[in-house]
Amino acid sequence: MIEYDYHHTESVRFQLKELYEKRWYKNGICKMFDDCRGKKIPKDYWLLFDRTVRLGDNYCMLFNDKPLRIVFMGKETLGFSDHVVRPALMSDFPEGLNRHYAVTLKTLRYMLNADKNALTNDTVLSMYSLTNLYSCAFCNYPEQTQGIPNSTTQIRNCLTLKKEEMEILKPTVLVLQTKDIRANDLYEDAIDVEIVLPDNYGKLKYSNKNECYIIESCHPSNKHHPWKKDLYACINYLKDNTVLPN
């Protein structure tokens, strides 16, 4: 049985707000902005940013009296989110879900055994948190979908931010939807979990210090790698070991 810990979730929201306002952002601009932009990117280039975690209203949960907190970290399309908002709900997609969000929702429904527990899509989307690996993107104009490649400086700065977000979120299950980051980038003590994967493409790791399972996968829109079977094999392992509902 899954229970919600609303007060804990709001405490997390407050801590994230303080992290962004006191540690990283001044007047809505990241303190690392000029460092990441460097000299190669003109000042008149557009900046898209999605600088905060999207925190589900029911993020902090208990399953069999143990903490259950699910985080997805990806490389997403950026918007102009400048405060800690919730993940998008079905009503935010009047023309239907894009492939990435549709696959994320399907994965979450399977992780939470949504059909058996009669969970609506919006309920499922309130039970996790989503964060971008990169909090900023530079491009020539707002509608540009392929911006300037992330620099090594940006990668370094954003990774520092992601580590600090994870210290607050304290996920028990973290799904990495990008090959740009691996479990040991976030948790140095993460070790491989012995599991047979159908395509041997992804990985399942565990950080004992942080009590977190990390599923290494790739972006759901990637049609060139066999990520799906391995992802579900990792989820099934977590179900068999009562980390997730079965």
Banded pLDDT at 46 (limits 50, 70, 90): low
In DSSP terms, 176 is beta-bridged to 73, 216
Q: Please report, rounded to a whole number, the percentage of residues in the chain having pLDDT higher than 70.
A: 85
Residue type, 78: L
Contact criterion met (CB below 8 Å) for 135 and 50 = yes
pLDDT tens string 78-131? 555 556 778 888 888 878 888 888 889 999 999 999 999 999 999 999 999 999
Of 230 and 227, the structure prediction assigns the larger pLDDT to 230
48, 133, 135, 156 from 141: Cα distances, Å: 9, 21, 17, 25
Q: In the CATH hierarchy, which top-level class contains the domain 2-240? A: alpha beta
Banded pLDDT at 40 (limits 50, 70, 90): low
Domain ranges across the chain: 2-240
Is the model's pTM score more than 0.85?
A: yes
